[in-house]
Structure 1
Amino acid sequence: MGTGAVYLTLSNLKNHPDFLTKVEIVFFCLNIILFVTNSTILLLQLVLFRQQFVRLVLDPVKGVFVPLIVLSFATIIIGIINYLVVPGHLTFEFVYVAFWIYIAFALMVCIPMLMIWFNSSHDIKTFTPAWAFLVFPLMLVGIVAINVLRVFPLLDPRAINVLLVGYIFQGLGFFVTFFYLTLYILRVMTTGFLEGHQANGAFVACGPPGFTALALIKLGEASRVILPQFGLVSETAGEVFYATAVMGSLMLLGLALFFFVFGVIPYWFKVHKHLNEILGCWALTFPNVGFVVTFRALGDVFQSQLFWTAHAVFTYSICALFVILFSLTIFAIVRGEVLFAKEKDLWADIMPEEQKRLTDNAASFGTDTVSTLDIVHLGGRKLSVDGFSEVDLEKGERRPYANI
């Protein structure tokens, strides 16, 4: 998502040199490569290490990040619109189909994950705004919709479907995530600012108001054309939708900026500066895209140089942050700090029949039932039975302790 954040913000610059388009296309291609790679790895994990995949989905912390694959797909759709549909390489029919595919994908991932996550209790003292990632893909339907409407003929009756569905899902996503934001304030009041890896999650709170502000402005612009054209609601409905959207966007931008400052000020003093937590730092990029691009949209509405300048400053800051995080992530991978499974996780995926064989061998010597994790922690496949002998569970032999 951090890769997508770069070209999503760069593409909206007011002063946009031609060479930036080539830079954006490079990041767009890199985003596709990362998406395909991550999807392949998850698929291989499901096939080869099924228990680990199940643990990932059921984990109350790691499980909330599963829907992020849908967000990556959203950035790819927007990239397709910017660099393939706008230049004329693909038709608007393609993105109309992609819009409905995205909705299906979001529902297929988010609904089961929400059911799994809410099936168990969670402590408010461990709350982080990152838990809202479970709903983010549904909220971003509105963002995908406004990009589809940029290239889709607004006089086509199907544009009504895109507009209304965009409003519905944007409302669903924003209000559900807003409930999460209230819990975030309660958490901070209870335990103080987030610490460690959770300090990165504080920036996720900028996402719901920022993306909703952007979606409202752009959906309002489309409403000015679509609603009067088809005689829907009333003659002035389009203008009312648009005017209300602009006012609401200004207010939501203020909320997003509050959460941004709320996360920035204590960040350096609260975050753990360890390479093994570098992946969590990527939360500093994508959630901020919404309010950053909103600056550009409001700048166009009010012809305000202040908004355009703010957008440019935040955009280049995100680009600089990407370079820093990308370099540190590569360094962490080289050092084996991230992406490598722990030994206990590998042993936990041992085949059931192997587990049974080792346990049966242990039982035949009068030992208690033993798990493969216990064996690993004792340093190999040998289990100490008493102070005088050991059992080699692999061979099923008892040996005098002195001979081991």
Structure 2
Amino acid sequence: MSAPLPDGPVYSRPESNPFADQQSHPRPELPGSLHNHPPRPGDGERGFLPRQSSYVDTPSSSGRSSTEYNESHLDDIEKSLPIHTVPSLRLQILRSITRNHHGDRDKTSEPRCMEVKSAGADEASSEAPRPKLGIRQRLAHFTWAWYTLTMSTGGVALLLRSQPHQFPGLFQIGLVVFIINILLFVLVTSALLARFCLFPGTFVRSVTHPREGFFFPAFFLSIATLITCTQRYCVPDDPEAARATAGTLMWAIQIAFWAYVVLTTSVAVGQYSYVFSAHSLGLQTMMPTWILPIFPIMLSGTIASVISETQPESSGVAILVAGLTCQGLGIAVAVLMYSHMVGRLMQSGLPNREHRTGLFMCVGPPAFTALAFLGMARALPEGFDHDMDGLADAATIETMGLIGAGFLWALSFWWFGIALLAVVQSPPRYFHLGWWAAVFPNTGFTLATISLGTAFQSEPILWFATAMSIVLVLTYLFVLCHHVRAVVVQDIMYPGKDEDVEDH
């Protein structure tokens, strides 16, 4: 018999194959997805039949048939597991395949590709009771993807403040959401720090992980929402009043902006450089999270469009120039990624149903760029004319910004339609933190719609944006409820359920 298995949950991994030392006995070939190969499109929606083996039921030297031998060997392995161990899915599937070879097929026990996927999509393990883990063990799986919660909460707070049709109390509601977001940011940061302190070495592994590492920029996206919400809720809208009453806070916001630009530039260059040199990622496995490292620096333009109007004129223009540069870099790299994303969709089809909400992430770059173009053009000083010839004055730049914003809004709408139809066609069944992609990018899409309606002075567009805002707030509450439930029932923060494993 093989060496005793270690205590703790046992999962279906190639390195834990209980038949690795059984060279003298033939074994059926396992489906490819059990070896962590990328799933084929539609694997989550349809099952597969085990490949037929070539061996026959012959008596062994001990007088037992191969069927009896394999069955007894499987029983021995399962009985040797600790009582609190979750039986390996590989063990269950081998038992099913062995029976199927001899005509004893039980269709209810046939494995499905979706049943061995990692991101909370394991029907077999969700039906079987999982052992309760303590908070320390669960903190080991608290990932950078949790910042998608604070990104989305900050985006909703900013959306409430920007509504074209205000009513009494809406400002206070948005302020409460902003304060809650600050508390959530502190809690998430504290939990991550606890993970890194309790489990040394996990910080480096997290930022270099081929899946979790792409969520590292979500930390900076959360900071971007904190900066913009601070400007909108704590600084008066009127520039003169702001300079008279919030001078110190405005200087702090300006310093935060320049520090943010430096840090996000380092992330955009450094993380992509690392990915290019350390990982080999097939384009057929591409997911929208690959865009995330460029997202924070792109939001520098959005921050600039919000804070520059109340800054002193010289500082405001410098902020706008930096914001325009960063926004251009972000949308350019995002478009490069879009070409690969479309190629992946054309060749391999839509992602597995559990990951289709991630397609909403493609809505964000053009939407936030449209928002930044309109905001930065509007924030230019009225007398701005760089060459003093009337060719590049504030009015001309604002017109160019409006044209570019309309162009980009249409691209954002196209991606929104693609993502929405994909999710409606096959909705996810199990919560994972990628669900928040249905909130934050669409916040930028809604804000860009509001800005376009304001620029065109169109009430129908503004009322349409109000309807979009209501749907988005309801979506936020829906995802938040499922998020809380997933924590309680151990669908996340649990071994094999989070972004610290590779599943596509």
Quote how far apart the aligned CAs of 1:13 are.
Answer: 1.1
Secondary structure, aligned partner of 1:72 = helix
Q: Is 2:264 the partner of 1:106?
A: yes
Quote how far apart the aligned CAs of 1:18 are.
Answer: 2.8
Q: Is 2:446 the partner of 1:296?
A: no
Contact 1:195–1:271 under 8 Å retained in 2? no
In the alignment, which residue of structure 2 is the partner of 1:136?
A: 295
Query: Counterpart amino acid of 2:491?
Result: E
Quote how far apart the aligned CAs of 1:100 are.
Answer: 0.9
Same amino acid, percent of matched pairs: 27
Quote how far apart the aligned CAs of 1:267 are.
Answer: 0.6
Given candidates 119, 125, 129, the residue that maps to 2:284 is 125
Contact 1:81–1:151 under 8 Å retained in 2? no
In the alignment, which residue of structure 1 is the partner of 2:190?
A: 40
1:269-280 superposed matches below 5 A: 269-275=425-431, 277=432, 279-280=433-434
Work out which of the two has the higher radius of gyration on C-alpha atoms and give 1 or 2. Answer: 2
Quote how far apart the aligned CAs of 1:182 are.
Answer: 1.3
Quote how far apart the aligned CAs of 1:151 are.
Answer: 2.2
For residues 104 and 224 of structure 1, what CA distance do their matches in structure 2 show?
Answer: 25
Contact 2:162–2:447 under 8 Å retained in 1? yes
In the alignment, which residue of structure 2 is the partner of 1:215?
A: 372
**Larger relative contact order, structure 1 or 2 (CA cutoff 8 Å, min sep 6):** 2
Contact 1:333–1:339 under 8 Å retained in 2? yes
In the alignment, which residue of structure 2 is the partner of 1:325?
A: 479
For residues 316 and 18 of structure 1, what CA distance do their matches in structure 2 show?
Answer: 17
Residues 226 and 98 of structure 1: is their aligned pair in 2 closer, same or farther, counting only changes over 3 Å? farther
For residues 267 and 91 of structure 1, what CA distance do their matches in structure 2 show?
Answer: 43
Contact 2:354–2:429 under 8 Å retained in 1? no
Query: Counterpart amino acid of 2:430?
Result: H
For residues 78 and 226 of structure 1, what CA distance do their matches in structure 2 show?
Answer: 26
1:248-267 superposed matches below 5 A: 248-267=404-423
Contact 1:224–1:241 under 8 Å retained in 2? no
Contact 1:194–1:270 under 8 Å retained in 2? no
Secondary structure, aligned partner of 1:237 = coil
Query: Counterpart amino acid of 2:314?
Result: P
Given candidates 318, 334, 353, the residue that maps to 1:196 is 353
1:4-403 superposed matches below 5 A: 4-86=154-236, 88=245, 91-119=249-277, 120-153=279-312, 156-223=313-380, 225=382, 227-228=384-385, 231-232=386-387, 234-238=389-393, 239-275=395-431, 277=432, 279-341=433-495
Secondary structure, aligned partner of 1:324 = helix
Contact 2:370–2:409 under 8 Å retained in 1? yes
Query: Counterpart amino acid of 2:330?
Result: G
Output the aligned Cα RMSD. Answer: 2.3
- TM-score, structure 2 normalization: 0.64
For residues 305 and 387 of structure 2, what CA distance do their matches in structure 1 show?
Answer: 19
Where structure 1 has 5 or more consecutive residues not aligned to the other structure, the ranges are 347-404
- TM-score, structure 1 normalization: 0.79
Quote how far apart the aligned CAs of 1:94 are.
Answer: 2.1
For residues 181 and 226 of structure 1, what CA distance do their matches in structure 2 show?
Answer: 38
Where structure 2 has 5 or more consecutive residues not aligned to the other structure, the ranges are 1-150, 237-241
Which string of whole-angstrom CA distances, capped at 9 and with x for unpartnered residues, describes residues 170-200 of structure 1?
0000100111111111111011122233211
Which string of whole-angstrom CA distances, capped at 9 and with x for unpartnered residues, describes residues 111-130 of structure 1?
33222222222111111122
**Aligned positions, number:** 341
Task: Kindly report structure 1 stretches of 4+ aligned residues shifted beyond 4 Å.
Answer: 87-90
In the alignment, which residue of structure 1 is the partner of 2:5?
A: none
For residues 74 and 152 of structure 1, what CA distance do their matches in structure 2 show?
Answer: 18
Contact 1:196–1:270 under 8 Å retained in 2? yes
